Amino acid sequence: MFEAGILPRPDFIIDGQFDEAVFLEHREKQLSIMLAQESIDGEELWTNYEQEETQIKIQLADLVLELLVKEIIDLLFT
């Protein structure tokens, strides 16, 4: 679709010879387009913090529960 991994074709033959500079330039341009599209498509995954926020809340709740249990044990046995 992006032609980033294309093989040489007649478009890259100039004056009867394969022009590697034109080929590499086209390939690099298409690769940068592909990477930009990949960034745009994946942006939602990078900016969706809901899962991380939920995980931190669960860890914090576990920590508070653990501290409360230790405190209760200390009160009962002192």
Asked whether the CA dihedral 46, 50, 54, 60 is positive or negative, the reply is positive
Q: Which residues contact 18 (CB under 8 A, 6 or more apart)?
A: 8, 12
Mean pLDDT, residues 9-28:
80
The Cα–Cα gap between 36 and 28 comes to 12
4 or 58: which carries more pLDDT confidence?
58
Residue 41's pLDDT band (cuts 50, 70, 90): confident
Q: Please give the model's pTM, rounded to 2 decimal places.
A: 0.47
